[in-house]
Amino acid sequence: MGTQQIIVTLISPFQHILKDKKFHFFLISIIIGLLFYQNYLTPNYSIDDYKELYYYQINRGSMYGRVLVAIYIWFFKQLGINLVASQPFFTIIALLIFSFAQLLISTKLFESLKIKSRTSMILIHILISVSIFNLFTVDLFQFNTYLLGFSLSIFFIAQAISKFNSRNKYNLIIQFIFLSLSVFTYQAWLPYYFIIIPILIITNIKKLKERIFYGVKLFFVYGLASLFNLIWVKYLHPLIFSEALTERLQSNSFFNNLNSVIGFQERLWNDSLLLAPKGLLLLFVFVLFAYMFLKVKYENRIKVLIVFLYLYFWISILVFLPHLFTKEFWPAPRSIVSIMALPSIIPIYYLLIEKGAVFSKIMVLLIVSISIFNLFQINRISYDHLIVNMRDREAVINIYKEILEYEKENGEVEKIIYGAYDPAYCDSDVICSFEINVRAIYVDWAFPYILKMVSGRDFEYKIEMNSNSKEKTFHNNQLVIIL
């Protein structure tokens, strides 16, 4: 038997899969995911990962309402598997889950929009992939312990979307189950549901009043899932585990946070929280709006305006609503990840507005542009992440050399390290936003664990607040490290 015959024999059981269009779209998602997040297949660490490499509190996920995350952390701990130490494997698993979620959403849109063109299918699937693998998703990939949960959350949203059927009397129950699974895994993906679901409502329900009524019922289901999550965080988790997150849930911060949200919009869309060149994303959205407004039939222009207003205002409300009730306004990119899906989803609404239309060359150019922009910018951020990890490790190696030298000179083994901090948390030559690419040596809960990683030793670590010296100093016969 020749080599060619052997290969044919081996792949023959899988030929029907290899020829399946769904498999091709799944493969597109995997390729996009690998191109976007390839740097995260290399061992990498966020400021939380260093501690979680040695210790993590299982109840922490439950305390934040992410019960399913707490369950899988507990499960892997029982198996002796550390999610940070095993990160390349779990990053691949997360990429596969993200990709399957994209396939479910795309397939449902093909069916609802009655897409027959192979080219249009590919473009829609690319848009869905880029909407989920968006610029803010890079923040999710920096937290290895929770990455699996981040991917499962959007997977449950995708299941809700794929199972949508307004004629099924059990549809609202099905939607509630999957939305609840999503919100009890990670809350920030939940608004993505209302980015996609209007397309399904409009294509499945003909009368305007019935569309509005069904949309209201779905919002009630959405709100009920969110309410149960809030009840868990505020009442059930403290009752079961005798610990609470109530200090972060302050209703008296509402109006201060509302002002912060309004003022935050310029920063969000102008430079994408320092994650993109200034004005570039805003320019893209403006060009997209102008093109769609001029391209559609005159009577459909009001629909374009309504779509943009709905997506911006309604999704912004859903995204930022949880932030209005927190003690501090901290809209990290991962917590508002759904809003960055909008630029990629808007072109799909063009096909909804202009029935029977196909993507023009200019629209294809815009789709390619947003995809390349995300590819380039995410790779920049992730490469900077590796650089920051390398710099932190090198700095701690040098610090440990000083510790060893000090121990040698004094003839004693040190167990206590005092740290005094420079205010700088980010290097000026890397992209840095919120916790993304922060120097871990400047973070008090990260530094002792990097030191442990380098030295293999446990030190008691204390913050020395009164030291103004930029040089190595001593305090009570103990070494003070100036960071």
Per-residue pLDDT of 127-158, as tens digits, reads 999 999 999 999 999 999 999 999 999 999 99
Alpha-carbon Rg for the chain, nearest whole angstrom, is 25
Cβ-contact 30, 96 below 8 angstroms: yes
Query: Which residues, at least 6 apart from 16, have a Cβ–Cβ distance to it below 8 Å?
Result: none
The pLDDT, as a whole number, for residue 2 is 60
Which residues, 6+ apart, have CB-to-CB distance to 375 below 8 Å? 35, 36
Q: What's this model's pTM, rounded to 2 decimal places?
A: 0.91
Residue 461 φ then ψ, to 5°:
-115, 130
Q: In angstroms, rounded to a whole number, what is the distance separating the alpha carbons of residues 247 and 115?
A: 50
Kindly state the tokens that stand for 424.
């700088």
Residues of the chain with pLDDT under 70: 1-19, 242-252, 420-424, 464-483
Residue 153, both tokens:
């959350």
Rounded Cα distance, 50 and 281, in Å = 33
- pLDDT score of 18: 56
C-alpha span between 366 and 363 (Å, rounded): 5
Q: Which residues, including other chains, have CB under 8 Å from residue 446's CB and lie 6 or more apart?
A: 47, 48, 50, 51, 440
Query: Measured on CA atoms in the order 268, 271, 275, 280, is the torsion positive or negative?
Result: positive
